[in-house]
Amino acid sequence: MSELSIKGLHVNVEQKEILKGLTLSVAQGQVHAIMGPNGTGKSTLAYTLMGHPRYTVTEGEVTFKGRNLLDLSTDERSRLGLFLAFQYPVSIPGVTVANFLRTAVNARRKAQNPGDRGIPIPEFRKLLREKMDMLKMDSAFAGRYLNEGFSGGEKKRAEVLQMAILQPEIAILDETDSGLDIDALRIVSEGVNLLREQNVGVLLITHYQRMLNYIKPDVVHVMMGGTIVESGGADLALHLEEHGYDWIREKYENGIISG
């Protein structure tokens, strides 16, 4: 069982403290949702976990599968089984979705076994077809240039496909629901649910409750001012949908919960 465990994490961005002692554990097969107002540090958490150089950890620890994650490069984190779906994926003109995915698969294979000659093309095609069928994606999608002219929904689908092919143990999705119409939202959610069935642990960062209509989280956390101020079950998200964040903000500001 691989677990991502974050303890008392403090993170600075350009000398400014954004995360202020955040503690959280995600086990494989669990879905944890992190909700919270804009500017509270949700993306900062996602980037820090993947090792983005702009985010400096000043205090606290993060372990993954018993190893100190903070000692590892982004590449090593990914090979260890951590995956981050970006809030704003970049496009790569000239590189097809299929080629991109095959390169990613081969990089991982080579890292595990330096003598690896790469996945045979027929085997890769089979893998790709299987995953695209699973996600109900049109096969023409694989021949398009990555993210080039993709709609918001297509970008997110490409991320979910990448995740299905790389089979991480813990996936972090940062606002994968933003800019999605209801159909795309459903498809992405179904993809996430399929991954969960395959025992992937998911850290689902979202500003809105609506994605949680399709993905039932095991735990919902509310983040405010760089720390988690409230945790609960799926019903906490519904409560937030109805009452907003003000009631938590008031509790927080009145010192009933300490950050």
Q: Report, in Å, the least distance between residue 96 CB and Mg ion.
A: 29
In the shown chain, the binding pattern of residues 26 to 65 toward Mg ion, with x for contact by CB under 5 A and - for none, equals ----------------xx----------------------
- Residue nearer to ligand ADP on the CB measure, 48 or 78: 48
Q: Cα separation of 4 and 48, whole Å?
A: 13
Q: Which of 5, 7, 13, 257 binds ligand ADP (CB under 6 A)?
A: 13
| Residue 40, binding choice from Mg ion, ligand ADP, none, Cβ under 5 to 8 Å by partner class | ligand ADP
188 with 127: CB under 8 angstroms? no
**From CA 127, how far away is CA 14, in angstroms rounded?**
42
Tell me if 222 sits within 8 A of 36, measured CB to CB: yes
Nearer to Mg ion, 41 or 201 (CB): 41
Residues whose CB falls within 8 Å of the CB of residue 163, separated by 6 or more in sequence, listed in order: 83, 85, 171, 191, 195, 200
Segment interacting with ligand ADP (CB under 6 A) among 35-43, 148-156, 185-193, 244-252: 35-43
Interaction residues for ligand ADP, span 38-77 (CB under 6 A): 38-44, 54
Q: Which parts of 25-171 fold into alpha helices (H)?
A: 42-50, 74-80, 97-112, 121-134, 152-166
Cβ-contact 60, 9 below 8 angstroms: yes
DSSP state of 88: S
| Separation CA 96–CA 86 (nearest Å) | 19
Closest distance to ligand ADP from the beta carbon of 141 (Å): 28
Judged by CB under 6 A, the stretch of 34-42, 135-143, 162-170, 243-251 that binds ligand ADP is: 34-42
Nearer CB in complex with Mg ion: 32/131: 32
Question: With respect to ligand ADP, which residue has the nearer C-beta, 15 or 258?
Answer: 15
Chain position carrying tokens 């993954």: 64
* Residues that bind ligand ADP in the complex, under the rule CB under 6 A: 13-14, 18, 36, 38-44, 54
* Residues that bind Mg ion in the complex, under the rule CB under 5 A: 42-43
